[in-house]
Amino acid sequence: MRGKSVSPDFHTFPFVLKACGLLQDSVLLAKNLHSELIKFGFLADVFVCNALACTYCRAGDVDGAKKVFERSLFRDVVSYNVMIDGFVKAGEIDKARELFDEMPERDAVSWGTLLAGYAKSSPCVEAIELFDCMVDLVVKFDNVALVSVLSACAQLGELAKGKKVHDLIERNEIKLDSYLGTALVDLYAKGGCIEMAMEVFKLCREKNVSLWNAMLMGLAMHGHGMLLLQYFSRMVEHGVRPDGVTILAFLVGCSHSGLIDEARRIFADMESVYVFHGS
């Protein structure tokens, strides 16, 4: 396009920047495109600025994204969300919260992104406090927020709080996808309610490998060796490919239940039947 002397417009660069963020060594490419944007005077456009900041964040250059954000003439909720996500992924949760508090308006992505950051930090009590704030303000929550707060409850052993979140899910008739199901199964398994974990697992129509792993690990922790064997067999029958976490759960469960022969058989099948790549 540039070789044909066709001038780009405001619609051109967001697509190019998105492609740039998917490539290796994208920091250098982002800086080159940044120079082009300055030359063409396109940094006055909020969509272009958001795309550029997002590209810097994906490349791991949060400082570069911050400079774009601070120098932009116009900002919308997406501008803030991009930076909050960048700070969260860089492990700078305090800066993410600072920016969150400055936002003139927030959406579900704003809350969910910060919640996810808190859920991955230690201690993660702030995730529960932030979710409580969402409920008090009647903010519409999405599955990202729900998964994050359930993860925090599981890590902190806050089973009672996790059950309240589950009640919210049921009252709002939120569909249990595999990610939300995984968080609930993990919560109940770690909280000692293996029967409830099994009930949630049964209700989930979509079952990915993470959900199966959460159920298997729960059964392993509670010493249900024979049930573990049954669930593992069902997993394989449903065409779900086991991974390293699956085998770990299986071996732990067999060890706790004294199922040494079964553990040896699966261990022997690891390379011949269950071929792992990087697990």
pTM of the prediction? 0.84
pLDDT means per 10 residues, the chain with 279 residues, are: 84 86 79 88 90 91 94 94 96 96 95 94 90 93 93 96 96 94 97 96 94 96 90 90 87 80 72 53
Instruction: Give, in degrees to the nearest 5, the angle at Cα 174 between 212 and 112.
Output: 85
In 10 A of CB 78, how many CB atoms?
Answer: 18
- The encoded tokens of residue 3 equal 């070789």
Task: Identify the pLDDT of residue 32.
Answer: 87
Task: Identify the pLDDT of residue 117.
Answer: 95
Task: Identify the pLDDT of residue 273.
Answer: 61
Task: Identify the pLDDT of residue 278.
Answer: 47
